[in-house]
Chain A
Amino acid sequence: MTEALLNPALLMIGGGLLLPLLRDWPRKLFMLLLPAASLAVLIALPDGDGGAIQFFGMTMETIRVDRLSFIFAVIFHIAAWLAVIYALHLKDTLQHVAATVYAGAAIGAVLAGDLVTLMLYWELTALSSVFLIWARRTERAYRVGMRYLIIQVGSGVLLIAGIAVRYVATGSVDFERMELAEPGALLIFLAFGIKCAFPLMHNWLQDAYPEATVTGTVVLSAFTTKLAVYALARGFPGTEELIWIGAAMTLFPIFFAVIENDLRRVLAYSLNNQLGFMVCGIGVGTELAINGAAAHAFAHILYKSLLFMAMGAVLYRVGTIKASELGGLYKSMPWTAAFCIVGSMSISAFPLLSGFVTKSMILTAVAEEHLWVVWLMLLFASAGVLDHSGIKIPFFSFFAHDSGKRCDEAPLNMLLAMGFTAVLCIAIGLYPAPLYALLPFDIDYNAYTTTHVITQLQLLLFAAAGFAVLYRRGWYPPEIPSLNLDVDWTYRRFAPAVWDSALRLLATGRDRVLMPLSSFALRSATRASTALRPNGRIADAWTTGTMVLWTAVLLGLFLLASLMR
């Protein structure tokens, strides 16, 4: 039992709950030291299972340290620490508590040795993270948060159901590799899938992340989905369905990211796309592929945090994050712009930056299995990443058409957080060996082969050059409408007409079909729910006559049933 208490997750959660007792600089110091202390505990933990406790007659292994869980736990600690620096200026106790508990829960889930422990932390991540959305304190944030919470807890409920089915059928709650055909495994798979934002289960991500607070989004982007990636890598490596799910995930968000105006929402779509690479790698399931997925998750958490930090800083200073209202901010926020570009180049997998050394592992693993269709899909998606995250994000916020907005540079703590993250992105890109040493399997892999570098550079330069040429010629619309924003000039070379009409179709589809459909659904739901509202037929006080009538009906039916028997 005492051994079970020496758990980094409990340290983080307990520390988080203590935060309201502290004020000002002691609290800041405490917040900065907490992830470091927790990381030290993690490193000191012996390999293997530990922290066994009894629960309902089941033995729970609350701690399992092996190479797969270790790398995720390490990056979660780093992300938590960077997020603390980024949020250091904040006085909102509730957000600090929620963020720390949330990070602790994610760490605990990754270290969970059995499904029940996983489920406990799984639910805790959902419950603690919603406060980061609600903390915006608007009616809209409340509704978004509620939707987010329902879906997240729904995932937890599916997980519980899957575990229960599994437990009743096999008597075991071990968290090891599963086959989809095993009892309960499909439910567990779906639970993971929701949290991992599989296609058609992804909407919560784009819905919720952009609505969270400036600092909240940074925290949110790091944990929930990567926890799901870990869970998939642990439970379902080599499951073939994941290859196609992952490939689809890399592709479809691109189109939505292109027509989106809210830049944090663009990042949410691109988060979805990046997850696709990891899911695909897990589906391939070879040692190189799993390594690639883990490494990509590691790098991804850093550069995605960096991008969300930069956009958060813009939102914090300017008050909006709409692409159509921003532009020319590099004069006001040069440092933020520089860090943002580092993040953009990382996510676009420029050589010498972190995305390159990790993403190429997944692509190589896919190629080694001769999955050429998937490989092409991933390659196309990589070009798409450059477009919406690599160029669109920094270009529309910091350059492009000058919006005339002038503001202060981001606060010092934000700059520091971004600076550290940017340094890490570059360091991993330049010298990936320490990261490779952390990976679940031993590898001898070199990202900087001539083929890799040339292929990637061709892809990037081709796409970027297209963008540059079009911009020089002034074909880029000076005034940017709120929708259909990113009429993508790179692709125009190949199929201008198709692209244009596809976009228009998408936009009209949204206006003509989805809007009426959703409003129809809303009206029907309202009509159905009137009975449930305080003065509705069901909820309002029934007359005594009605009540007695129901009593008689019930008794009559029962007597009738016993007669008919």
Chain B
Amino acid sequence: MTEHLPALQVVIPLLAAPLCVLLRRPGAAWGVYAATALASLAISLLLFARTFDGGTLRYALGGWPAPFGIEYVVDAVNVLPLLLVSVLAVAVAIYAPRAVASEIERPRIYLYYACLCLYLAGLLGIGITGDAFNVFVFLEISSLSGYALIAMGRHRRALLAAFRYLVMGTVGGTFVLIGIGLLYALTGSLNMADLAERVPPLYDNRALHAALGFIAVGLAIKAAVFPLHAWQPDAYAESSSAASIILAGAGAKIALYAFMRYAYGIFGGELVAEVLPLGRVLLLLGVVGMVLGSAVACFQTDVRRLLAWSSIGQIGYIVVGIGLADPAGLRAAFLHLFNHGLIKGGLFAVVGIVLLRTGGTSLDHFAGLARRMPGTFATLLLGGLGLIGVPLTAGFVSKWALAQALIGAQQWWVLAAMLASSLLALVYVGRIIETAWFREPPGGKAAPAAPGMSATVWMLALLTLWIAVDSSAIAGVASHAAQTLLGGAP
């Protein structure tokens, strides 16, 4: 049984989706989704236990051997993304019953859970597959279910947001497909490990450069890398609270993981950083993204939009780490990918609680709430400090790693931009905190917080706290991941 774990990681959520549709009853659909999420988490943890010290698991799907059949690969590179997705999926499962009951019309609830299962299957599939084309398939699965999840938001505006995301997501998906097509035409292979061996002799081939370009731009759209980010604030802000946790926490991160896998696992660091200027382009985009994203966040009046723009800034850090193209940079990118995913997921969960309680997500709805819900807002404070990168938060762990990488690479301007962006983060986090603690709350009525929702928030907050205090395991995996990627073979 245990040797089938890599396949089960994807198959279980994929099969759970039609089950939700067949069962139709909201409670039953939730049960299926919750069981799926828990199973995914259990499998991710088992896989983590086997690979965190640098080992690799390979699984030939259907018994077809690697270069011909589809292969699933679990190694240090993808255990962190897989773990992030499953943890957030469980968080959504605990969070969902109350949030969904108040935000989604009852007849549609089973569809909502079915979409969540599909989305989960898509993200986990991107994470686990060792086949270049398979990535595209799962990318489309996650995207299509993602559009549906966003479209089920509270307002009719959600439809527009979903449509805009759909257009951009499709462009991105097509770009990735074109890139894979070029790659296949050049090498005749789709297996990542196999590709990594066939690509280096072609470093002067223009079609290969075009393939890299298409894949890079396509995944950059999915990851909301500045300036291809414009679909993202609307999409995050208009989706329902439960879905926003995993959309904002894991959606873009998995695209960034895929980007790293393609760029370094297949094309190789030499092509990315030396033959072509992609590394420098990424540094530039990352810097602009982290400064502008944080700056725009400072002016937002809707907290979900604020957090969405903050994500654009935070993704800039990861992009910078990727752009450095050295072990320290990739390590920082992996760490921030994981830590920021947990932090942002937790923050969106807090916003969902506020939405349930006050009926809105603008800053005004946060006024004085911290005094009524001190526990929930303690986690918001923790997450906010993490976004700034204050010491003893998870955000600091990854920013410290990134700062060391930047100093090692002598990228002083990027370091300065990163510090400036941290100060901007201080402003937008400070605004929320000041409003929540010191403004007078508007009078009277307030629904009590749901225990499940608070549990989610606390679970994510304690996880980040744990990473902040003892980051050795996560940091170790990130180091292995960086070495594995730059060593060549996936």
Which A residues contact B (CB, under 8 angstroms)?
Answer: 20, 56, 94, 119-120, 123-124, 127, 130-131, 134-135, 137, 142, 145-146, 149-150, 153-154, 157-158, 160-161, 164-165, 167-168, 529, 532-534, 536, 538-539, 541-542, 544, 546-548, 550-551, 554-555, 557-559, 561-563, 565
Contacts and interface: CB of A to CB of B under 8 A. Distances in A.
Contacts of A131: 437
B228 A550 contact: yes
Interface residues of B, number: 62
6 contacts: A131-B437, A153-B426, A157-B419, A539-B233, A559-B210, A562-B206
Contacts of B234: 541
B116 to A, nearest CB: 26
B276 interface: yes
Contacts of A130: 430
Interface in B291-310: 292, 295-296, 298-302, 305, 309
Nearest to A529: B299
B298 A532 contact: yes
A145 B434 contact: yes
B206 A563 contact: yes
A548 B171 contact: yes
A66 to B, nearest CB: 24
A533 B299 contact: yes
Contacts of A558: 213, 216-217, 276, 278, 281
Given A150-B427, A153-B423, A565-B275, A547 B231 contact: yes
Given A123-B390, A534-B301, A558-B217, A551 B228 contact: yes
Nearest to B381: A127
A410 to B, nearest CB: 26
Contacts, number: 139
A533 to B, nearest CB: 5
Nearest to B392: A120
B296 A538 contact: yes
A45 B276 CA distance: 59
B276 A562 contact: yes
B229 to A, nearest CB: 9
Q: Is the interface of B mostly helix, strand, loop or mixed?
A: helix
Contacts of A565: 275-277
Nearest to B164: A544
B227 interface: yes
Given A127-B385, A164-B403, A554 B228 contact: yes
B407 interface: yes
A142 B433 CA distance: 10
A544 B278 contact: no
Nearest to A120: B391
A251 B422 CA distance: 35
A539 B217 contact: no
A426 B90 CA distance: 64
Given A547-B230, A551-B171, 9 more contacts: A20-B374, A130-B430, A150-B427, A153-B423, A532-B292, A551-B168, A551-B217, A554-B217, A554-B228
Contact of A542 (B175, B230, B391, B419): B230
Interface in B180-228: 206, 209-210, 213-214, 216-217, 220-221, 227-228
Given A149-B426, A555-B175, A561-B277, A541 B391 contact: no
A521 B430 CA distance: 23
Contacts of A546: 230
Contacts of A142: 434, 438
B434 A146 contact: yes
Contact of A150 (B221, B407, B423): B423
A243 to B, nearest CB: 30
A133 B213 CA distance: 51
A149 B430 contact: yes
A56 B400 contact: yes
Given A134-B437, A161-B419, A561-B276, A555 B292 contact: no
A539 B374 CA distance: 32
B212 to A, nearest CB: 8
B450 interface: no
B423 A154 contact: yes
B295 A150 contact: no
Interface in B408-463: 408, 415, 419, 422-423, 426-427, 430-431, 434, 437-439
B484 interface: no
A164 B419 contact: no
A136 to B, nearest CB: 8
Contacts of B486: none
A56 B434 contact: no
A547 B226 CA distance: 11
A539 B296 contact: yes
A281 to B, nearest CB: 30
B388 interface: yes
Contacts of A557: 281
Contacts of A534: 299-302, 305
B220 A554 contact: yes
Contacts of B426: 149-150, 153
Nearest to B167: A544
B400 A548 contact: no
A146 B164 contact: no
A534 B237 CA distance: 13
B475 interface: yes
Contact of B227 (A536, A550, A555): A550
Contacts of B164: 541, 544, 547
A565 B209 CA distance: 11
Q: Which 6 A/B pairs are nearest by Cβ-Cβ distance? A: A542-B230, A562-B209, A558-B213, A120-B391, A539-B296, A533-B299
B276 A94 contact: no
Given A161-B415, A547-B231, A134 B434 contact: yes
B300 A539 contact: yes
A347 to B, nearest CB: 33
B115 to A, nearest CB: 23
B434 to A, nearest CB: 5
B134 interface: no
Contact of B423 (A127, A157, A550): A157
Interface in B136-159: none
Contacts of B168: 544, 547-548, 551
B210 to A, nearest CB: 6
Nearest to B230: A542
B404 interface: yes
Nearest to A151: B423
B391 A123 contact: yes
Contact of A562 (B213, B295, B431): B213
Nearest to B281: A558
A551 B228 CA distance: 6
Contacts of A158: 419
Contact of A146 (B175, B276, B404, B430): B430
Contact of A137 (B230, B397, B438, B475): B438
B471 interface: yes
Nearest to B388: A153
B74 to A, nearest CB: 27
Contacts of A532: 292, 295-296, 298-299
A56 B471 contact: yes
A565 B274 CA distance: 11
Given A94-B437, A565-B275, A555 B419 contact: no
Contacts of A123: 390-391
B33 to A, nearest CB: 31
A157 B419 CA distance: 7
B209 A559 contact: yes
Contacts of B295: 529, 532
B209 A134 contact: no
A134 B438 contact: yes
A46 to B, nearest CB: 26
Contacts of A20: 374
Interface string B225-268: 00110110110000000000000000000000000000000000
B404 A168 contact: yes
